[in-house]
Amino acid sequence: MHTKRIAAGGAKGIKWVATPKSSHKKGESIPLVSILKDLGYADKSDEARKIVVLGEVMVDGKKRKDKNFGVGLMDAVSIPKIGKNYRVVAEKNGLVLREISETEAKLKPCRVIGKKTQAKGKIQVTLHDGTTFLTGKPMKVNDTVVLELPEKKIKEIIPFAEGNTVFIFSGRHRGKTGTIKGVEEGTAGRRSLTTVGDFKTLTEYLLVIGKDKPVVEL
């Protein structure tokens, strides 16, 4: 299994030559041109740009021709011409590109970060990658929506609940996985905390990835 570490997500002393254009939060994505260079598919930025402009790189199943397009947590990066697929996950020191199968690249777990009730009982849901959609399916903030790519069709909804498995993508425990043991609801002056195994972390740092086992390989 190939894993490529790329300094991102707040790593000290790192400045991108290119600024990523992304729907992910600022500082939480990597420009495609940097990915191609760091993976060894291009020696220079010009070479990486040509690969992208020719439409040889896909993100979440769609061709992206902007060299500065930013990819972030749980995005699937594919290079069909050479049969390579990667998922962006997080480890202690930053974002990681982990090689995955073509089947895995067609699934994407996304954290629900917001929802609003619309007319006729529909709910507008916002996911951590910036995706928004209307649905009649019940879900809560912190639940995970597993999407089928590239259509972004809902395959499964995994509730944020005790006993389920989570991936920690931020904070000092970043990169770890564990089981939810308990949740302390937030107040006006305190953010919600979740006990994972034998430690606590902020609830907003967690992505539910499965019930009995992870729905994707991490």
| Protein fold of 3-102 | 3.10.290
Q: What is the pLDDT of residues 23-62, one digit of tens each?
A: 776 678 899 999 999 889 998 889 999 999 999 999 999 9
Q: Where in the chain is the domain with CATH 2.40.50.740?
A: 106-158
pTM, 2 dp: 0.87
- Residue 99 is predicted with a pLDDT of 95
Q: How confident is the model at residue 88 (pLDDT cuts 50, 70, 90)?
A: very high
Percent of the chain whose predicted confidence (pLDDT) is above 70:
89
Q: Is the pLDDT of residue 167 over 90?
A: yes
Q: Where in the chain is the domain with CATH 3.10.290.10?
A: 3-102
Closest C-alpha to 35, from 23, 51, 24? 51
CB 21 within 8 A of CB 33: no
Q: For the chain, how far is it from start to end, CA to CA, in angstroms?
A: 11
Angle of CA points 124, 131, 67, to nearest 5°: 160
Percent of the chain whose predicted confidence (pLDDT) is above 90:
73
| Protein fold of 106-158 | OB fold (Dihydrolipoamide Acetyltransferase, E2P) (2.40.50)
d(CA 100, CA 104): 6
Q: What is the pLDDT of residues 190-201, one digit of tens each?
A: 999 999 999 999
Which helix (H) or strand (E) element contains residue 35? Answer: helix 32-38
